[in-house]
A and B are shown apart, each in its own frame.
Chain A
Amino acid sequence: MSEKIVTLSDATFDEHVKGSDVPVLVDFWAEWCGPCKMISPVLEEIAEEQAGKLQIGKLNIDDNLEVTRRFDVMSIPTLILFKNGEPEVRLIGAKPKGQLLQEIAEYL
């Protein structure tokens, strides 16, 4: 995994997401989800390209139910973009890179 991506957990979520100077795109994922595997390389690329402007965080839902429930995630992959700690956009399902970037562009 790219070193530009941060692994989030129930314990560290608030600290990372609320404390971040740049928007954080959180990937709610699990090992057993095919579409999650598909977007994983896309997120790696975005993390490299947008370094300094956008932080990518990954949250494994199996291990982190508290945050998963807090944001009412009911389908994975779900990507939520947080700005100043607040959820701004929610993207459900795997999407091509171009479309992902387009949908979060106005918040960067």
Chain B
Amino acid sequence: MTERRKVVIVGSGPAGLTAAIYAARAQLEPLVIEGEPSSNSDQPGGQLMLTTEVENYPGFVDGVMGPELMGIMRNQAIRFGAELRTAKVSRLDLSSPSPFPVWVGDPEADEPTVEADALIIATGARSLMLGCPNEERLLGYGVSTCATCDGFFFREHHIAVAGGGDSALEEAIFLTRFASKVTVIHRRSELRASKIMQERAFKNPKIEFLWDSVIVDVLGDTKVSGIKVKHTKSAETFELPVTGLFVAIGHEPNSALVKGQLDLEENGYVRTVGRSSRTSVEGVFACGDVQDHIYRQAITSAGSGCMASIDAEHWLEERGE
């Protein structure tokens, strides 16, 4: 028989887990369907599981490692009675009013796994890959999306980081602990990253920049031996002999589950109404990076998770539940 829940939260990054903490404390006995293990930023704990030191999350004077912070939030949600299930939602049906059927596992199964009175979408965003021919083949053999996981293997190597935002510079700076040289490859002539990160990167003697440059291919037979770089202004291409490539060029929202069911922005992010977490379907709320392409911080994500939980609680109350 299909299980019925007052609140189901899809996703377990800072947004999903904060929503879970609030919903659990409001006695709504939330079920968090947290996702399944993966190394590509669509996993339990969210993108912070792939990051290093988080220095800007309030409350941690000396910073905290991303995976550690997520472990703490998870335990906090469990402490108040949230149930976490390590599984992936395969399908949602938002075509009829609440309760909303949620499938885990076989999306074609006759009966949904659980029905949710209120649904909180906190599926986050995932890292974009470059999309060049040999990138996927060499993933794990020098191509990496996780500096914390793989930096260790590049002691005294020359490696490259693709991207120009905060994540790219954070990775580049972290990787200088191991690498002899880190080349940051950015397609423009200036960085998107915050001033403090830029300053640190410019000051770091191991970091150099290649401006107006894009990576067109990754070279190497059984492991990365170099990358092919194209200068966008002169259109010249050349090879850079690196043994590692870390990709941090941006993100896309994990909104496939609700595409065609909720109103999305043109760039695929879930549209929320005014200063709330409400979506185009009554009883469905969205929080975190799946609906935010502007701030995208752990703290804004957590804040929006809190909003979603309170919005859901009010909505359930108004329905008389």
- Extra contacts besides A35-B37, A42-B37 (9): CB < 8 Å: A32-B65, A34-B45, A35-B43, A72-B223, A73-B153, A93-B40, A95-B38, A96-B38, A97-B37
Which 6 residue pairs spanning A and B have beta carbons closest together?
A92-B140, A93-B39, A34-B67, A34-B49, A96-B36, A94-B37
- The distance from the CB of B126 to the nearest CB of chain A, in whole angstroms, is 13
Chain A contacts of B142 at CB under 8 A? 74
With A and B bound together, what is the CA distance between A42 and B43 in angstroms?
14
The 8 Å CB contact of B86, one of A35, A41, A76, A77, is: A41
User: In angstroms, how far is the closest chain B Cβ from the Cβ of A75?
Assistant: 4
B44 proximal to A (CB < 8 A): yes
Complex formed: what's the CA distance from A96 to B36 in Å? 5
Q: A74-B223, A93-B40, A95-B38 are known contacts. Are A35 and B149 too (CB-CB below 8 A)?
A: yes
The verdict on A36 contacting chain B, using a C-beta distance below 8 Å, is: yes
B152 at the interface (CB under 8 A from A): yes
Nearest-neighbour CB distance to chain A for B52, whole angstroms, equals: 8
Q: Does A33 contact B (CB under 8 A)?
A: yes
* Number of residues from B at the complex interface, CB < 8 A: 31
Q: Check B152 against A61 for contact (C-beta < 8 Å).
A: yes
Residues of A within 8 A of B (CB): 30, 32-39, 41-42, 61-62, 72-78, 92-97
5 A-B residue pairs with Cβ-Cβ distance under 8 Å, sorted by A, are A34-B45, A35-B37, A93-B39, A94-B37, A97-B37
CB-nearest residue of chain A relative to B153?
A74
Which one of A33, A75, A94 lies within 8 Å of B43 (CB-CB)?
A94
Closest chain A residue to B144, Cβ basis:
A75
C-beta contact mask, B25-53 vs A, less than 8 Å → 1, else 0? Answer: 00000000000111110011100111100
